[in-house]
């Protein structure tokens, strides 16, 4: 075991602050990574403040962070895919049972025995896992990902959560050239959805309640922008979409978007709305439409996504901050005061 620098929270009301944590020594299959950048996901904030206590109670102290970009510093004796000096990434998962049908299918995100990057039981240390707000991490080779060298590393960090969360359902529901795709909400998730749908060759329509976001939506790759409060503008698109990605995490009228789907169209939720949404049965029945949800992606698909980003030079739009401003960033997250994701430059941890 060794000591690593980190930022952790001691309780649900404590700010994140400098601390020391224990990392395990390498096993033969492990990779040790110096963390260069770590994205801030809204789930970091939820976990730090124990806002998901009903289904995922927080164990303190907590070190959040599951959008990790770094460089390999050491590898175990049996590691074959990585060597010291390689760029590497770690997303939301650091282990699973690898034997269940989901794991065998490359869908580790649905493993009943998965280990999350932070706040999950750590079988090696007997405590909980600590995430990427740290100077290093040790992860089994199977859960380490390769990073295309042409990508901006700070912008690549959010790909490990926001990127795969939006890429996976598009691949699952067959978003390709010639499809008409809607993206509801232009935030951290939505802006990645626009970039992916555009790169996949689809006709992309952004739905937003904010007229001032139109210019940015077009810059990101949208072909059209619809102000969702404009009933006439919405009606013009009725029954025409193959796929809609709903990235809104606040309460909203889902039926307004279901009515935009064509025959056999799908709407996938990726925004974690806190309360149940009212769904009209007729909105689904009349067009054999479907409503689904999606949760990140497995390891093979996450690597596919990173390679796709390398080919198309796709990264998140980020504001890079030092670790010392993380608490301020959390407060700004609550008011959506960021375009479109925060990424922490972990070199700033060395000044602590």
Residues 260, 215 within the same domain? yes
Span 73-132, pLDDT tens digits: 999 999 999 999 999 999 999 999 999 999 999 999 999 999 999 999 999 999 999 999
Q: Is the pLDDT of residue 49 over 90?
A: yes
**Cβ atoms of 145 and 87 closer than 8 Å:** no
Last residue of a domain, one of 244, 263, 293: 293
**Cβ atoms of 227 and 251 closer than 8 Å:** no
**Cβ atoms of 7 and 133 closer than 8 Å:** yes
Strand, coil or helix: 258? helix
Percent of the chain having pLDDT more than 90?
Answer: 96
pLDDT at 55: 85
Residues 16, 123 within the same domain? yes
Residues 273, 329 within the same domain? no
pLDDT at 316: 98
- By mean pLDDT, which of 47-56, 167-176, 292-301, 309-318 is the weakest? 47-56
pLDDT at 135: 98
Residues 278, 340 within the same domain? no
pLDDT at 239: 97
Cβ contacts of residue 212 below 8 Å, gap of 6+?
A: none
- Helix (H) or strand (E) run with residue 303 in it: helix 299-312
Span 189-206, pLDDT tens digits: 999 999 999 999 999 999
Average pLDDT score over residue span 316-333: 98
Residues 59, 115 within the same domain? yes
- The CATH number of residue 80's host domain is 3.90.180.10
pLDDT at 236: 97
Q: Is the pLDDT of residue 352 over 80?
A: no
pLDDT at 225: 98
Span 334-343, pLDDT tens digits: 999 999 999 9
Residues 288, 318 within the same domain? no
Distance CA 89, CA 82 (A): 11
Q: Is the pLDDT of residue 351 over 90?
A: no
pLDDT at 50: 95
Cβ contacts of residue 236 below 8 Å, gap of 6+?
A: none
pLDDT at 273: 86
pLDDT at 25: 95
How many separate domains does the chain show? 2
pLDDT at 99: 97
Before 61, cis peptide (omega within 30)? yes
Average pLDDT score over residue span 151-162: 98
Centre a 10 Å sphere on the Cβ of residue 5 and count the other Cβ atoms it contains. 18
> HSE of 205 in the Cβ direction (CA atoms, 13 Å)?
21
Last residue of a domain, one of 277, 293, 309: 293
**Cβ atoms of 150 and 84 closer than 8 Å:** no
Pairing of strands 115-116, 30-40: unpaired
pLDDT at 53: 87
**Mean of pLDDT over the chain:** 96
Token output for 131: 């995430």
- The CATH number of residue 225's host domain is 3.40.50.720
Per the structure, the complete domain to which residue 33 belongs is given by: 2-161+297-351
**Cβ atoms of 39 and 318 closer than 8 Å:** yes
pLDDT at 292: 97
Strand locations in the chain (E): 2-8, 17-23, 30-40, 68-75, 87-90, 93-95, 115-116, 136-140, 145-146, 180-184, 203-208, 224-227, 241-246, 261-269, 290-293, 318-322, 341-345
Residues 133, 262 within the same domain? no
Question: What is the sign of the dihedral through the CA atoms of 34, 40, 46 and 48?
Answer: positive
């Amino acid at each position: 075991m060794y000591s690593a620098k980190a930022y952790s929270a001691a309780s649900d009301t404590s700010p994140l602050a400098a601390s020391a944590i224990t990392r395990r020594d390498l096993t033969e299959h492990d990779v040790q990574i110096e963390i260069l950048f770590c994205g801030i996901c809204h789930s970091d904030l939820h976990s730090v403040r124990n806002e998901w206590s009903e289904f995922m109670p927080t164990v303190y102290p907590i070190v959040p962070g599951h959008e990790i970009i770094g460089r390999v510093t050491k590898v175990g004796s049996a590691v074959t895919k990585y060597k010291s000096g390689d760029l590497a990434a770690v997303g939301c998962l650091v282990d699973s049972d690898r034997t269940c049908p989901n794991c065998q299918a490359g869908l580790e995100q649905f493993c009943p025995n998965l280990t999350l990057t932070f706040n999950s039981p750590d079988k090696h240390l007997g405590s909980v896992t600590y995430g990427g707000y740290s100077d290093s991490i040790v992860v089994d080779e199977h859960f380490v990902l390769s990073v295309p060298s042409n990508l901006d590393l700070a912008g690549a960090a959010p790909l490990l959560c926001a990127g795969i969360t939006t890429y996976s359902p598009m691949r699952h529901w067959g978003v390709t050239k010639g499809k008409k795709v809607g993206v509801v909400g232009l935030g951290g998730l939505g802006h990645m959805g626009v970039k992916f749908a555009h790169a996949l060759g689809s006709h992309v329509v952004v739905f937003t309640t904010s007229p001032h976001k139109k210019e940015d939506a077009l810059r990101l790759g949208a072909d059209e922008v619809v102000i969702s409060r404009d009933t006439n503008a919405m009606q013009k698109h009725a029954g025409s979409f193959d796929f809609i990605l709903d990235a809104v995490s606040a309460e909203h009228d889902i039926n307004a978007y279901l009515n935009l789907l064509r025959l056999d169209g799908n709407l996938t939720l990726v925004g974690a709305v806190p309360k149940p949404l009212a769904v009209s049965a007729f909105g689904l029945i009349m067009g054999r439409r479907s409503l689904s949800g999606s949760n990140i992606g497995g390891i093979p698909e996450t690597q596919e996504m990173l390679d796709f980003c390398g080919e198309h030079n796709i990264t998140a739009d980020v504001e890079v901050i030092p670790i010392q401003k993380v608490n301020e960033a959390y407060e700004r997250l609550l008011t959506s005061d960021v375009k479109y994701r925060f990424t922490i430059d972990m070199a700033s941890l060395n000044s602590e």
